[in-house]
Amino acid sequence: KILQAQKKRMETKNGGKSDKDILSIYSSILAAGLNTTLVEVSKLTLYQLYEQLTRFNLKDAFEHNFTASLVGANVEIKDWRENDN
């Protein structure tokens, strides 16, 4: 009963999504973006998952900005491989 109450409270707090749901969404995005399996992503620690997701977002932004610059947009292209932490 306590676990069910905690889960319900977390769902209300997170707009209907529990932390587990958010983690599974991030894992799915990362697995698809890195062309790997969910099993491999599930082996990552939370810190590693966060780092990979951050790097994936940087790479995705780089690709969009690079494509936009090829068609004439004036955007800043930042190298996603640089470590700016």
Question: How much is the pTM?
Answer: 0.62
Q: What DSSP state is assigned to residue 37?
A: -
User: Is the separation of the CB atoms in 45 and 55 below 8 Å?
Assistant: no
Predicted local confidence at residue 17, as pLDDT: 56
Q: d(Cα 43, Cα 48) in Å, to the nearest integer?
A: 9
Predicted local confidence at residue 12, as pLDDT: 62
Per-residue pLDDT of the chain (85 residues; tens, 9 = 90+): 566 666 666 666 555 555 567 888 888 888 888 888 888 888 888 888 888 888 888 888 888 888 988 888 888 888 777 765 5
Backbone angles phi, psi at 75, to 5 degrees: -125, 155
Q: How many CB atoms lie within 10 A of CB 66?
A: 12
Predicted local confidence at residue 42, as pLDDT: 85
